[in-house]
Chains A and B, each alone.
Chain A
Amino acid sequence: MIDGHVPAIRIAGARKVYSSAPWARARIAVEDVSIEVPEGAIHGLLGPNGAGKTTTIKMLLGLVRPTAGEFEILGHPSRVPANRAGLGFLPEQPYFPSQLSATQAMTLYARLAGVPVSERHGRIADLLERVGLGRHEHARLSEFSRGMLQRLGIAQALVGRPTVVVLDEPASGLDPVGQRDVRNLMMGLRDEGVTVLLSSHQLSEVEAVCDRVSILDRGRLAAEGPLDDLLNVAGRTSVRATGLPGALPATVVALTDDVAVSGDVWVFSVLDADVRAVVDAVDDAGGRVVTVTPKRESLEDYFARLLARPSAEQEVAS
């Protein structure tokens, strides 16, 4: 339960062990992974290749049999097919029956998702338009480019008006405009109250749209929590100043050890307790403080630092 509410997605104690034969050495793909995603949030699932992201998603969707663990969508076991009625899924690099047209494929998925006949035609046309395939509705999928198949994959994931959407690398194969469209689409879904679980290698995308992230490493949960809590550097403040005559005041230099300068703009960080003194020193030197914000690491830096540790200890932000 999250604040008394049933989470949209709940994974508890997920474990998957692959073994090709009883005598063969078992390979642990996922070990004790627990994730809760509240309704209406965008939750990022990150990790290097082979970290267990896709296996975790597949266990949630009933595509892989878990060795252990509980998997729920809106409080109901997700491995029961009927409980996936409100779920949309975009697999990584989706493919479709190549001899069908876009409309025929969407009709198939709409029927499987239980979209009523009366709504089907309009819903399919709207979605194809929304993902930029409106002019290709009758084209055969064998003629589609990689990016077009990705867009169709997104459309099929949304065809059943899902309340929970799982997207595995949604920006894969898309050009920069397409990637921006996907970001806007995810934020639009959040505005509509749809919960999104986003698995991605594109950290800038995750940083731009996600409220919380879970980071997997070697099958285990290495870090989990709201992005602000994970990336904000406790006890330090970032100061951006301009108009300084050639150099930082000596008082500031003594208080900081990371200074970056670009043209007339100086960026540095200091301990929270030193902010007042630093602002006064910049003023006294004739400069102007532009911003004072909590120091925040980039997700890329955080990710690299986390995974560089010899053994990823669990790091959970509240």
Chain B
Amino acid sequence: MIGRLSAIAGAVFMDAVRRRVVYVVVFFGAVLALAIPTLPAYGMGIVSGIYREVSLALTFAASMVLVLALAANRVPAEVERRTVYNVLSKPVRRLEYLAGTWMGVFAVMGGAVAGFTLIEQAVALTRYHDPMWRLWEGALAIWLESGVVGAFAISVSAVAGPVVVAVASLTMVFIGHARDSVVGTGGSAMARALYPSLDTFNVINPVAHGSGIDAVYAAGMMVAFVGWVGVLLLLGVVAFDRRDL
């Protein structure tokens, strides 16, 4: 099973990294990172905190664009072009196909988020003589969240087209970060616990303006990540298993 998963993930990775969209998004991300120091807020003397905050926001936005570009149309295109037949007619379970596809996309996202972060570090080093290592803590959170969004997109794409997937995924991200607005900070503990929140992955404040995140928090993020991805892919497999190709 591991061999088949890694084979599919490897093929998805190789195919994805040769697509122009990855480099276009990274290029524009780099241009924007270079432009951050020109923002008006810098005139007020709040420098490194705002730089980190805007950098993380930029990385988050770019990673959402990229993960949707890579994940939303992957399965629908393979079904449409029938490339999926060559895979699923072999001794491959649909679970392995979906999970392998997700792993490939997640690996590309790792490279892209790392690329963004390196560019932002380079700008920080050049402009402020500070490598801002803490940006990597934010990068980890963003990468994990892109994995969750990727799992959601791939699962929905098992039964829907790319437009529906993109809209559903953006809605999921919006809802995932709206717990305080929907339930309220003073809402019941039960409602807050059951809310499908992605706020665990929002570490902009501690990374940009605080002292970063500790190992316990990072471990909690990992648990949330595994739980989200596991449940989403499982739902996707249940739907995909029932689908005629």
Contact = CB atoms under 8 A, between A and B. Distances in A.
Interface in A62-78: 62-65
Given A81-B91, A97-B15, A99-B19, A112 B8 contact: yes
Given A99-B19, A112-B91, A114-B91, A156 B14 contact: no
Nearest to B94: A81
Given A108-B8, A108-B11, A91 B88 contact: no
A248 interface: no
A99 B90 contact: no
A34 interface: no
A84 B91 contact: yes
B242 interface: yes
Contact of A96 (B14, B86, B88): B86
Identify whether the interface residues of B are mostly helix, strand, loop, or mixed.
helix
A91 B85 contact: yes
B32 interface: no
Contacts of A104: 11, 14
B131 interface: no
Contact of A63 (B8, B16, B244): B244
Contacts of A65: 242, 244
B245 interface: yes
Contacts of A114: 3, 91
Contact of A85 (B10, B12, B91): B91
Contacts of A41: none
B15 A160 contact: no
Interface string B210-245: 000000000000000000000000000000001011
A89 B11 contact: no
Given A95-B83, A96-B83, A87 B89 contact: yes
A100 B161 CA distance: 24
B134 interface: no
A18 B243 CA distance: 12
B14 A100 contact: yes
A40 interface: no
Contacts of B81: 95
B93 interface: yes
Contact of A108 (B10, B88, B89, B242): B10
Contact of A81 (B82, B92, B244): B92
A109 B90 contact: yes
Contacts of B244: 18, 58, 63-65
Contacts of B242: 65
B192 interface: no
B129 interface: no
B118 interface: no
A225 interface: no
B90 A113 contact: yes
B172 interface: no
B90 A160 contact: yes
B29 to A, nearest CB: 22
A108 B91 contact: no
B85 A84 contact: no
Interface in B1-47: 3-4, 6-8, 10-12, 14-16, 18-19
A94 interface: yes
Contacts of A100: 11, 14-15
A269 B101 CA distance: 62
A96 B85 CA distance: 10
A100 B7 CA distance: 13
Nearest to A111: B7
A89 to B, nearest CB: 4
A160 B90 CA distance: 9
B15 A61 contact: no
Contacts of A172: none
Interface string B86-114: 11111111000000000000000000000
- Most chain-A Cβ atoms within 10 A of its Cβ — which of B11, B14, B16? B11
A96 B81 CA distance: 8
B15 A84 contact: no
A112 B90 contact: yes
Given A58-B245, A108-B7, A112-B7, A99 B14 contact: yes
A242 interface: no
Nearest to A63: B245
B88 to A, nearest CB: 6
Contacts of B14: 97, 99-100, 104
Nearest to B87: A112
- Most chain-A Cβ atoms within 10 A of its Cβ — which of B19, B88, B242? B88
Interface string A89-125: 1010111111110001101110111100000000000
12 contacts: A58-B245, A61-B88, A64-B245, A81-B92, A84-B90, A89-B90, A96-B86, A97-B11, A109-B86, A111-B7, A112-B7, A156-B86
Given A82-B91, A84-B90, 8 more contacts: A63-B245, A83-B91, A89-B85, A94-B83, A108-B10, A109-B87, A111-B6, A112-B7
